Structure formats: structure tokens, C-alpha cells
Amino acid sequence: MTKKRCTGVLTFLLLAACLSSAQVPKPEDVLGFKVGTACKMADMNQIIDYFQKLEQASDRVIVREVGKTTEGNPFIVAIITSSANHRELEKFRVIQQKLADPRTITENQAEEYIANGKTVVMINCSIHASEIGASQMSIALAYDLAVSNDAATRHILDNVILLLVPMHNPDGIQMVADYYKKTLGTPYEGRRMPWLYQKYVGHDNNRDWYMFTQKETQLTITLHNAWHPHIILDMHQMGSRGARIFVPPYVDPYEPNVDPILRQEVAMMGTFIATELTAEGKGGVIHSAGFDAWTPARAYHHYHGGIRILTELASVNIATPVTIPFESLSSEVRKPSVRMPLPWMGGEWTLRDIVDYDYSAARAVLTNAAGLRRNWLRNFYRIHQKAVLPKEKPFAFLIPEEQADLPSAVWMMKVLQMGGVEIHRAS
């Protein structure tokens, strides 16, 4: 009798899980095509619509509008974690705030927060709007996290709070989509638009992480400062004739103010991603090549206790496939090396390939974040201890009250405050 009752309960739970998954809309049922289909891309409105429908159907997903973009469009974030974590979301956010300022807590309190907190991961997609792969991938990633009940996904959901920004530049995604769809089947298919996809700074919108001049930067900083992510995955695309994907470690030089712990964490995470993709048989994964961590203009997170993991995927022509013979690839990627042990052998390269590589990279980051949860929280706390409890000069900087250009001085202080710098009146 007991065995029958237990079997009945298990059957009910499995049925409930299946029914819950069945109610979550598949991307293709909303978009009208599968994510990554050649010559198809979801535009800003379709992406927002899908995430809103996902929120309505899943208790693992909350979608929030952080604010309005330069063109007045919604800038959204999807917060994805287990339903149990969602019920205590504010508690976990406060834990992050406390660990980010060790002056406010004791060592015993820190240990309690480290034991009970969650790894916070931010995935920032397609800041460069013509690099559409990550924005499309975000739909597939969100869907799978919303419906999957395998042990690996459950482990991620239980231990990680994901802040998924499907479009850092929604305005640009819409412009690129409109132009691409308009030129399909013409000689201009897959080519660059003849105008900027961010009307003030164009492609340089990812060089704004210390002056915060653009609305999209400011909104991202607001989100970052509320949550203090341990890991930021910044997903880009690059040229087509080199490696299929770049992941850290970065090449030298590093900006000298980046904490050594962060540098090692970047290297560890990058090589973990490379290992996971290579194990899946994905060729052309390269690290320690081409990209550095020198300028603060690209890496706000390195100065706030979090790592920035840059991925650069080989591009297609927006959503139109390209064919690259092996002999046309750059010579450095045509043979195995320490930096790239499994070459890509050339051939057709598609948007679906970009989505698949991006998806695998994102899952690798989430897997690592879940498995090393305590490590991420403990190192985050250690980094901030060194930052806010310095043992040597300078302890502070004095800004004279008399200024030749007072408005500029005020603006400088405003920028510093946006970046988390405390400003007090000297006595």
C-alpha cells in the first residue's frame, strides 16, 4: 500500500512537471521560426514579446523593464532562477549588497552570507546590434531554463540567479532587423546599414564603462549596482576567417588596478568554457589571443568585484550563412596549438552555429557558477575587503571647493557616484 501511494505521488509530480513545461511557449510557436534559422532574425518587439509570454507561463522567469533606451524603447532584463529562489529574491540581493561592502558586516556574518547566498551571473547580449547571435540565443537559453528539469539545469537554478539582458541595444536590434528584412534577396542582403545602430556613438557603445554617457550604459550600471554580479558574460561577434570563438584568458597587458584574484578567475572561467565546447566537438575555440583587459572603458565589472568574460563569435552576414574554405582561414587557426587544440575545418558557417556556440558558452558559465558557488561568493568578499579596507595610501582624494570650472567638477563627482564611489564633505 505504501509503495503504491509513493508511486502515485511520484507520478503526480512528474505529470505536474510535464504539464508545466507544456504550458511554456516554444520560441518557434511565438516567432514563427526556430531560433538560428538561416535568413531569419527576431527583432526587438518579437524578443520582448517572447520574454513577456515566458514570464506569464513560468515561475522561474521574471521580466523587468529597467528603463527606456535612447530611442524610448524598453530595456528589459529577465531574472531567471528557481521558483524557491524567486520567493526570496530580495534576501539574496541584500546578501550581495552586504558582501560588496565588508565595512558593514562581521567575519561571522560574512561566512553566513557566503553559505546562504547565490552566484549572480549577468549575460549581456548583442551590445553591438549587428552581432545578432547572442540576442537570438537568449530566447533559446531562457526557454530551456524555464522548462528543463534535468539534474544539471536544476542545479543551476538552485544555485544561480541569472540576470539575462537579451538586448543591450534594443534600438539597434530593431534597426538591423528592419534593414536586413528589407534587403533580403537583394545585392545588399547581409550588408551593414548605411547609418549607426546607436545614434550617438555607434559601435563605440561598449567603450562607455567609465563615463556612463549613454542611457543603455546607465541602465546596465543601475542593474549591476543593485545586484553586484560575480560573473558578467559579454557576448560579441568578430570576423569570419579566424577562430570560431574567442574566450579568455586575455593577452597582456592587464590594467594594473584589476585585482589578481579576478585575473585568475577570468582565466579559470575562460578555459572552463573552452574545455566544455571542445568536449562537445566544437572546433575553433581559441583563448589567449587578440583581446586584452587593458582599458576600463570596456570593463566596469573588473573594478566592482566581478569578472568580465568576453566571447567573440565568428560572424555570418547578419543571418545569412557564409561559406569559408579551410584554406581561406587565417594560418594561425589551421593547425592545432596550445591556444586552440581543435581546429575548425572550414565549410558553411551559419547563424545556427553562432547560436549553438553562444548557448554552450552560456551554459558552461552557469554550470561553473553553480558548481563553485561558495568560491565565487568568498572571493567576491575578499576582493571587496581589499578595495574598501585599504592598508596603504591613498585612502581618499580631496576635491577643492574652489574650481575654475565648477560644472565640470560637479559632473565628475556625479560620474564617480554612478560608479559606486562615496563622496563626503571634508570637515
**What is the three-state SS of 364-383?**
HHHHHHHHCHHHHHHHHHHH
Q: Where do the domains of the chain lie? A: 19-396
Residue 293 bridge partners (DSSP) = 254
Residue with cell 558574460: 233
- Residues 6+ away with beta carbon under 8 Å from 269: 231, 248, 307, 309, 365, 368
Task: Evaluate whether 174 touches 166 at the Cβ level (below 8 Å).
Answer: no
Task: Evaluate whether 40 touches 33 at the Cβ level (below 8 Å).
Answer: yes
Locate 92 and state its grid cell. 539574496
Residue 29 bridge partners (DSSP) = none
Locate 277 and state its grid cell. 565546447
What is the reported pLDDT for 22?
59
Q: Which fold has domain 19-396?
A: Aminopeptidase (3.40.630)
- Give the CA count within 13 Å in the CB-facing half-sphere of 258: 23
- Residues 6+ away with beta carbon under 8 Å from 414: none
- CA–CA distances in Å: residue 96 to residues 124, 155, 384: 19, 20, 11
| Rounded average pLDDT per 10-residue block, the chain, 427 residues | 46 48 89 99 99 98 99 99 99 98 97 99 98 99 99 99 99 99 98 96 95 97 98 98 99 96 98 99 98 94 96 99 98 97 99 99 99 99 91 87 94 95 90
Locate 43 and state its grid cell. 527583432
User: Which amino acid is present at 246?
Assistant: F
What is the reported pLDDT for 4?
47
What is the reported pLDDT for 7?
47
Residue with cell 526570496: 88
User: Which amino acid is present at 243?
Assistant: A
Describe the strand order of the beta sheet including 285-287 as a list of residue ranges.
Answer: 61-68, 74-80, 160-165, 119-125, 231-238, 307-314, 245-247, 285-287
Q: How many CB atoms neighbour CB 381 within 10 A?
A: 21
What whole-number distance in Å separates Cα of residue 98 and Cα of residue 93?
9
DSSP secondary structure code for residue 305 in this structure: T
Q: Is 36 left (phi over 0), alpha (psi -120 to 50) or beta?
A: left
What whole-number distance in Å separates Cα of residue 211 and Cα of residue 191?
31
- Give the CA count within 13 Å in the CB-facing half-sphere of 87: 4
User: Which amino acid is present at 341?
Assistant: P
User: Which amino acid is present at 134?
Assistant: A
Q: How many CB atoms neighbour CB 397 within 10 A?
A: 8
